[in-house]
Amino acid sequence: MAAHLILQKILKTGRVSEPAPAADPALRTRVQALQAEILRVFGQAVAVRHVDAGSCNGCELEIHALNAPQYNIEGLGVKFAASPRHVDVLLVTGPVSRNLETALKRTYEATPEPKWVVAMGDCGCTGGLFGASYAACGRVADVIPVDVEVPGCPPTPTALLQGILAAVSGGR
């Protein structure tokens, strides 16, 4: 009886979503601020489209981790969407490879205004270890306008959440 096992496991696991009310006040402040900003700017939620523009896939690991139940991002109003036409924020990883330069520009153009771009990871911010070369353009800001840069290799899910906050609270 799979349903029985599932219910049993759900009950046993309980709620793992963070932040716990008193566990980490600093994180809670940020999370609450984020929610307030989302409410102010977008009314209810912010939709994010991830674009891998040449990453090593390390940053993608942390974007996935941000979707782990501990972070409960949909509860905060942050949702990853399938199409750039449906989003407010583009989350771009990688030193932009020349083979993806055009696809990234088109994705940017397909995203409706108002829009924000978060460049994620050391590569997205500076080109990182890969730098600019015959095959890579380097930092994201050299290809499309960037609002916020979140450094790290890769940045933690919390840092990423802070970056999205910084983007939407820019008040464009």
Partner 1 sequence: MSAFDSLNPQAIGKHLWRLRLAAAQLPGLAEAVREDGGQLVALWGSDDRHLGAGYAVHVVFLAARGLVWVSAGLAAEAPAYPDLAAVFPQAGRMQRATWDLLGIRAEGAADGRKWLRHGAWPADAHPLRKDYAGEPVRETDAYPFVRVAGDGVHEIPVGPIHAGVIEPGHFRFSIIGERVLKLEERLGYTHKGIEKRFEGMDPDTGARLAGRVSGDSHVAYAWAYCMAVEAATGAQVPERALWLRALFLEIERVANHLGDLGYLGNDVALSFGLNQFWRLKEEWLRLSEALFGHRYLFDRVVPGGVAADLVGGSALAEYCLAVADEVRELKAVYDEHAGLQDRFANTGICAPELAARLGLTGLAGRASAQAWDARVQFPQFPYDGLEVNMATHRRGDVLARAEVRFAELFESLRLIAEIIAGMQEGALRADLPQVTAPCEGIGWVEGWRGEIVVAVRLGADGRLDRVHPHDPSWRNWPLLETSTLGNIVPDFPVINKSFNLSYSGQDL
Name the residues that contact partner 1, by CB under 8 A: 1-2, 5-6, 9-10, 13, 16, 50-65, 67-70, 80, 82-84, 94-95, 97-101, 103, 107, 128-131, 133-136, 153-154, 156
Residue 171 CB, shortest distance to partner 1, in Å, is 28
Residue with tokens 């969407």: 81
Min. distance of Cβ 14 from partner 1 in angstroms? 11
Which residue, 23 or 43, is less far from partner 1 as judged by CB? 23
Instruction: Please tell me the total number of residues recorded for the chain in this structure.
Output: 172
**Among residues 20 and 129, whose Cβ is nearest to partner 1?**
129
DSSP states of 66-89: HTSTTT-GGGGTEEE-S-GGG-SE
Residues 6+ positions from 136 with CB-CB distance below 8 Å: 54, 95, 96, 97, 98, 127, 130
Q: How far is the CB of 22 from partner 1 (least distance, A)?
A: 19
